[in-house]
Amino acid sequence: MSPEIIEKEVNRRKTFAIIAHPDAGKTTLTEKLLLYGGAIQLAGAVKAKKEGKSATSDWMAMEKERGISITSAALQFEYKNHILNLLDTPGHEDFSEDTYRTLMAADTAVMVLDAGKGVEPQTIKLFRVCRDRGIPIITFINKMDRPTKDLYALLDEIEKVLGIKAVPDVWPLGTGFDFKGVYDLRDQQLYLFDRTPGGKQKAGFRMAGPNDTSLDDQFDEEIVKAFREQIDLVENGIGQVDKNSFLLGKETPVYFGSAVNNFGIELFLNKFLELAPGPDHIPLRDGNYLDPVNSPFSAFVFKVQANMNKAHRDRIAFLRICSGVFERGLNVNHNRLDKPVKLSSSFAFFGQDRNTVDLAYPGDIIGLVNPGTYKIGDVLSTGNTPPLRPLPSFAPELFATISCKDTLQLKSFKKGLDQLAEEGILHLFTSRTIGGGVPIIGAMGKLQFEVFQRRLKDEYGADTSIHILPYGISRWVKKEDRSKIPSNANLVEDLFGNMALLFDTEWDMNYFHKNNEGIELLDNPPLEE
């Protein structure tokens, strides 16, 4: 395929993820964005999915019971001749590792804040992952129809807590019940809203500026006065959005709106298309970015999911295409196995529905049927393996031994352990010193254990019991340090041969470190060069 065609496709793609603290409105915003793209006909379809109305597995029913989103999926939709790939990320903090990895497949992050709550804990964590990977962030301040914090205080909070300059690209006319519209600061156009059922947006009209007298005829004096003063402050005190600073991660453009009422979403989407970088933001280890057009095909696995659909009962590996063109049946080199593989069963997913993908471009996400060939972090390419930065992996903070209650279920228990650990929802370890040979699971939160046990039962028919271990902290160690590790240390090894040391408390870890200075204690598994 000619580079011109690839370039054209690259230029019309935007791959992004939405990050938010639970309840800020991520699901609602996703749904509204999909409506603009015509990807869903029915308002409430995403929500219905979240609430389990279309759930096909019991494990999804668990999401429903808990009101949380555990799975993450990639949805593709078209809007104004652009192809948007939206990576859905679980909001629950126990699933943060999965979310962090998914963010590695995004070129832009949309950070949704609740106008009444501001920057919440989960937002801070997710924000940091984006910043460390250099993903530009666009802020959407949601729930403007409800009582909000002071808007300047909100901008200030973003700057202070997250350490990024917050620059409004629009400004609201009124807040809470008086939220009447948003003013586009660069295009000087005011978009007014109508409170019709379904939240239709009334066409905006052009103003000569905030001093347009037609405003006085239409709205309360107080609202208009405050609006003019605020715009004056923003224009003179903060300035306009600078695309370059945004792309460099130095500033975040800020939008205001109400997802549930569909206020400000269309304008936000249009501005997103204008600002968000294309799929040319995959960083390499040397600090450069991969050229998506002139490099051979390359892609990495950022997610593995077993039993997406009980009817299919297969495992899917999700790939983010970084460069070149994917054609079904392509022969690629698998970097970890160091052998060629043929990519024949490729799918795109929309919730439970899957369609065969014959052709895909940089920025796109495809699912491959995975008979155990692909693991998170694998790189597939037709040329030399590009030196992509490794996906983040964290040191678990909660540990337990897990055993199967019924010996007749042992085989499926083992299969389930391996397949689910492959998904990376938790770490599976073995140890010579701890647990008497029983598998050890490690996670960031207790909910991960519950989901793990539930899925072992639902999907593999294995009843399990777990026994929580006293360790509260772990660190990875390099293979070459193994001989230096004292025999009484709590050493464990994961599925991929990575070794970690477990400690009861941070004090114990520091004590160990003081007495064993030659052993490096790492936050992430050591890189294989």
Residues that bind ligand G4P (CB under 6 A): 20, 22-28, 47, 91, 142-143, 145-146, 258-261
Report the C-alpha gap between 187 and 348 in whole angstroms. Answer: 37
Give the sign of the dihedral formed by CA 504, CA 509, CA 511, CA 513.
positive
How buried is 313 (Cβ within 10 angstroms: 0-12 exposed, 13-18 middle, 19+ buried)? exposed
Q: How far is the CB of 143 from ligand G4P (least distance, A)?
A: 4
Nearer to ligand G4P, 76 or 258 (CB): 258
Which residue carries 């999700």 as its tokens? 318
Q: How far is the CB of 65 from ligand G4P (least distance, A)?
A: 15
Is 145 assigned to a binding site? Answer: yes
Other beta carbons within 10 Å of 241: 21
Nearer to ligand G4P, 143 or 315 (CB): 143
Alpha-carbon dihedral of residues 5, 349, 127, 505, nearest 10 degrees?
A: -130
Helices marked H in 211-297: 214-218, 221-237, 243-247, 265-275
Max distance between CA atoms of the chain, in angstroms, equals: 81
Nearer to ligand G4P, 141 or 325 (CB): 141
Q: How far is the CB of 473 from ligand G4P (least distance, A)?
A: 29
Is 88 assigned to a binding site? Answer: yes
Report the C-alpha gap between 443 and 93 in whole angstroms. Answer: 11
Q: How far is the CB of 419 from ligand G4P (least distance, A)?
A: 28
Q: How far is the CB of 110 from ligand G4P (least distance, A)?
A: 12
Report the C-alpha gap between 500 and 477 in whole angstroms. Answer: 5
Helices marked H in 386-482: 410-423, 446-460
Nearer to ligand G4P, 101 or 143 (CB): 143
Q: How far is the CB of 430 from ligand G4P (least distance, A)?
A: 37
Nearest to 10 by CA among 422, 474, 275, 361: 361
Is 144 assigned to a binding site? Answer: yes
How buried is 288 (Cβ within 10 angstroms: 0-12 exposed, 13-18 middle, 19+ buried)? exposed
Nearest to 516 by CA among 469, 463, 477: 477
Report the C-alpha gap between 429 and 150 in whole angstroms. Answer: 49
Q: How far is the CB of 154 from ligand G4P (least distance, A)?
A: 15
- Cα separations (Å) of 410 from 58, 315, 415, 465? 21, 20, 9, 13
Q: How far is the CB of 313 from ligand G4P (least distance, A)?
A: 29
Nearer to ligand G4P, 9 or 88 (CB): 88
Nearer to ligand G4P, 20 or 426 (CB): 20
Nearer to ligand G4P, 230 or 261 (CB): 261
Nearer to ligand G4P, 176 or 283 (CB): 176
Q: How far is the CB of 101 from ligand G4P (least distance, A)?
A: 19
Residue 166 · residue 159 · CB < 8 Å: yes
Residue 37 · residue 77 · CB < 8 Å: yes
Report the C-alpha gap between 303 and 324 in whole angstroms. Answer: 20
SS3 of residue 126 by DSSP: helix
Helix or strand (DSSP H, E) at 190: strand 189-192
Nearer to ligand G4P, 28 or 230 (CB): 28
Is 89 assigned to a binding site? Answer: yes
Q: How far is the CB of 35 from ligand G4P (least distance, A)?
A: 14
Pairing of strands 298-306, 353-356: unpaired
Nearer to ligand G4P, 263 or 476 (CB): 263
SS3 of residue 94 by DSSP: helix
Is 523 assigned to a binding site? Answer: no
Residues making up the annotated binding site for GTP are: 88-92, 142-145
Q: Which residues are annotated as a binding site?
A: 88-92, 142-145
